[in-house]
Amino acid sequence: ILPVAIDYYDHKIVEAWKRMHAEEQIDYIMTSQLIWETMEEENLLIDHNFLEYRIRHLVYSGVFEMKGIPKNRRRYFVRLK
């Protein structure tokens, strides 16, 4: 096990969003789909709750824009600003 910085996976999340956007040609992508895509494409063995935490951090940091109800990951969508 190697320790990494807390923002280590942020660029992988953004890259997964860009791939999904290019394939599907939609602006807002469901957060649960983005988490799954990130885990699948990068072969990550990481808790999905941590990736959702990082997505919310990216929203609050201004990297992503959110639409919907952030009650659970199936009720809100994100897009790159």
The answer to whether 18 and 80 have CB atoms below 8 angstroms apart is yes
Classify residue 67 as exposed, middle or buried by CB count within 10 Å of its CB (0-12, 13-18, 19+).
exposed
Q: Per residue of the chain (81 residues), what is the pLDDT tens digit?
A: 789 999 999 999 999 999 999 998 999 999 999 999 999 987 878 889 999 999 999 999 999 999 998 877 788 999 999
pTM: 0.89
